[in-house]
Every structure is written in structure tokens, then in C-alpha cells.
Amino acid sequence: MKCLCLFVLFLCLRCDGAGSKPRRGRGSMWWGIAKAGEPNNLSPLSPGVLYMDPAVHATLRRKQRRLARENPGVLAAVAKGANMAVAECQHQFKYRRWNCSTRNFLRGKNLFGKIVDRGCRETAFIYAITSAGVTHAVSRACAEGSIESCTCDYSHVDRAPHRSRAAAAANVRVWKWGGCSDNIGFGFKFSREFVDTGERGKTLREKMNLHNNEAGRMHVQTEMRQECKCHGMSGSCTVKTCWMRLPSFRSVGDALKDRFDGASRVMMSNTDLEAPVQRNDAAPHRVPRRDRYRFQLRPHNPDHKSPGAKDLVYLESSPGFCEKNPRLGIPGTHGRTCNDTSIGVDGCDLMCCGRGYRTETMFVVERCNCTFHWCCEVKCKLCRTEKVVHTCL
């Protein structure tokens, strides 16, 4: 039975592979799920019943559909994660020439546009942040209990294939004996399975995608903070229990943005599949297809250090984002607002690429002096302020 499944899966992988573009990795279409309707419509909480929007269906690879089928509730989490990633990307790149704009077309096209066809820094960031988004959102959904199939991995016991009655009894035993592991473990593993589908790690571009996806997940893991509680005799610290707290996604985005600024340009090692990279492996007991993560990328400049597990890597320099470039799906910076006093990338000189800018003075009415009351009351005044807006020509 299992063999048959694998065989079918293999066939699907083959036929899916034939149609897609050779250059970029093939595991990026699922981003479209972010725009595919309201997350609430994606999957009802009750298991067994599954309703999948045709638009969603189209964006997913077959393995991803299977994963969504096997883990009810996961699609909503993935959609939430993708949305979170897009929002975070747009926040981080608000003041840059490339502002992480997305497009609304779904079928056959990419959410972030054709920029992902190039293996540049921006693409690296997109891959990392989306993979981090899925990890984060799935871990969160596990904590909320909206995904019921999160694993209860207990390291002493090898996982039996689930859904059988014996396995169910074994799971209960594991839970009663040693409890269940943290939510982040499932988020990490699921993200690997879901996001990395189709990135076989054969070509350099696929390796880049894999590396950046992994880097995104690593950042979710390393941004976690430890909390402890003492509960020994009379509440003393003779017994202390610690756990990891899921980071806010903003801090993950900040960390990834730092890595974006220091991303390393790579090329393939001469010898393929060198010594395994030291990784903080979340699933040490899972053997299948693990070796696709075992590669070492070589820096483009031999004087540089080779990239670490948390570094973002790219293959080619970024295109100029100044002018509209339909071939790469770049809208250009025409009409973007800029800051005339800044000398950074949000300054008008850099943002408008020397084309100059238009300055307008306008009156805007906005909410101000807000006071916030738990839970749902915000009292604001309406202020009329004069604003000077600079817009690139």
C-alpha cells in the first residue's frame, strides 16, 4: 500500500515537473494561497469534511494537496502564514525601491511576479519569509488546537504510521508517559514537507531555494525565547520547567531583513554533496529525502566565508528596480512616495533614481490622539494636518 502511494506520488512529481519552468524552483506556486479567498473558507475545523476552493486547488502541488487533506485545518494556517509573510515583506521593504508588491493573478503566475524567476536577493528573501511564515502559522495553529493532527513526537518512541488503531493507542501511551513535544517541532517539519515540495535540490537554483527556505525556518527557531517556571518544594526552583515561546513574526522579519542586507552570493561547490552541513535538525529520526539538505554552497567570492545555515544566499545580482520592466514584472518606482530629507534608500535621490520628484502640499484628515480601551474601544480625535508629500516622477 505504502509502496503504491509512493509510486503514485513519484509519478505525479514526474508529470508536474514536465510543465513548469526550468529555471526557478518549482515549489513556489502555493504562495497564491494568500490571495485565494478568505482563509475561513479554506477548511472547516471539523475533520473529514474538506472543501477546497478551485483557486486554491490550482496553486497546490499534489503532495501539498495530500498534506492538506491529511491535516485538516492546515490550509487555513498556511494561508494565514502566507498572508503574514506578504505583509511582513511589504513592511520590511516599505522604503526600498523594490517594495515586495504582489499581484492578484493566480493561475500559472507567481504571486510576487516574475522577479522570482531570477535568483536574486529579493527572491531569497521571499522564499525565506514565506517558509518562516508557514512554520510560524502552523506552530501557532497547533497551539490553538485548530490543527488536530500535530504530532506528539516523543523522542524515545519511533513514530508509527498514524491513523491505525494500534498507533492511536501507542500515541495515548506516549502522551501519558512522557507528554508531547513542542508545537514548533511540527511547524518546522510541516514547513519542510509543504514548502520544500518540488525543490529536489538538483539544480543550483533549487539548492538556493532550499537553503533560503531552511534559513527562514531557522530564524523562527532561533528567535524563540525561553520562559521558565519554578515549581519545586514550596514553589522553589528545585524543579524548574522551561519552554520556548513563539517569537512575534515581526522579530523574525527583522532578523531576516538583516540577513537580506548581508546575503551572500554563491555558486555550487566543485564536488557535489560535500560533508553535511551542521544543522539543528528538528526531525533527527526521519530519514527519507533528508540528504537533499546536505549540501554546501560556495561563496562567489572565494575570499568570503561560506554561508551559514541562517544566511540568505542568492545567485545573481538584482535587476534595477527603477524603471518598469515588464519582462521581469518590475513596476518601477514611478509614483512612489519618498522622503526628501533622508539620504538612505527611502530618500528621494535614491528612490526616484535621479529622475526627480514632485512635491505637493495637501491637507489630510486623520485620526489622532487616540486612546485605547480594552478591548474594543478606540477613541480618536480627527485632526486636519498639513502634509508635504514627495512623489517620484
Q: Which residues bind another protein (CB under 8 A)?
A: 45, 47, 91, 140, 142-145, 148-152, 154-156, 162-163, 167-168, 171-172, 175-180, 182-183, 226-227, 229, 231, 233-235, 238-243, 245-246, 248, 250, 369-378
**Residue keyed to cell 555558486:** 267
Considering the complex, state which of residue 284 and residue 302 has its C-beta at the smaller distance from another protein.
284
Measured distance between the N- and C-terminal CA atoms of the chain, rounded to whole angstroms = 63
Q: How far is the CB of 218 from another protein (least distance, A)?
A: 19
Question: What is the C-alpha separation between 367 and 383, in angstroms, rounded?
Answer: 6
Q: CB under 8 Å to 235, separation ≥6 — which residues?
A: none
Considering the complex, state which of residue 241 and residue 317 has its C-beta at the smaller distance from another protein.
241
Considering the complex, state which of residue 7 and residue 175 has its C-beta at the smaller distance from another protein.
175
Q: How far is the CB of 173 from another protein (least distance, A)?
A: 9
Long-range Cβ contact pairs of 95-98 (< 8 A, separation 24 or more): 95/339, 95/344, 95/345, 95/346, 95/351, 96/345, 96/346, 97/321, 97/322, 97/333, 97/336, 97/345, 97/350, 97/351, 97/353, 98/122, 98/318, 98/321, 98/330
Say which DSSP state 242 is in: E
Considering the complex, state which of residue 25 and residue 187 has its C-beta at the smaller distance from another protein.
187
- Say if CB 313 and CB 302 are below 8 A apart: no
Given strand 357-373, what is the order of strands in its sheet?
A: 337-338, 377-392, 357-373
Considering the complex, state which of residue 71 and residue 333 has its C-beta at the smaller distance from another protein.
71
Considering the complex, state which of residue 148 and residue 346 has its C-beta at the smaller distance from another protein.
148
Q: How far is the CB of 69 from another protein (least distance, A)?
A: 12
Q: Alpha helices, DSSP H only, in 160-319?
A: 165-178, 183-195, 204-222, 249-261
Considering the complex, state which of residue 117 and residue 148 has its C-beta at the smaller distance from another protein.
148
- Say if CB 137 and CB 38 are below 8 A apart: no
Question: What is the C-alpha separation between 74 and 85, in angstroms, rounded?
Answer: 16
SS3 content of the chain, % helix, strand, coil (to 5): 40, 15, 45
Q: How far is the CB of 363 from another protein (least distance, A)?
A: 22
Q: What's the alpha-carbon Rg for the chain, to the nearest Å? A: 23
Considering the complex, state which of residue 232 and residue 356 has its C-beta at the smaller distance from another protein.
232
Considering the complex, state which of residue 21 and residue 373 has its C-beta at the smaller distance from another protein.
373
Q: How far is the CB of 212 from another protein (least distance, A)?
A: 24
Q: How far is the CB of 2 from another protein (least distance, A)?
A: 18
Considering the complex, state which of residue 188 and residue 321 has its C-beta at the smaller distance from another protein.
188
- Say if CB 100 and CB 92 are below 8 A apart: yes
DSSP reduced 3-state for 312: coil
Q: CB under 8 Å to 344, separation ≥6 — which residues?
A: 95, 350
Q: What is the grid cell recorded at 351?
A: 528612490
Considering the complex, state which of residue 226 and residue 270 has its C-beta at the smaller distance from another protein.
226
- Say if CB 170 and CB 193 are below 8 A apart: no
Q: How far is the CB of 127 from another protein (least distance, A)?
A: 23
Q: CB under 8 Å to 67, separation ≥6 — which residues?
A: 74, 190, 193, 194
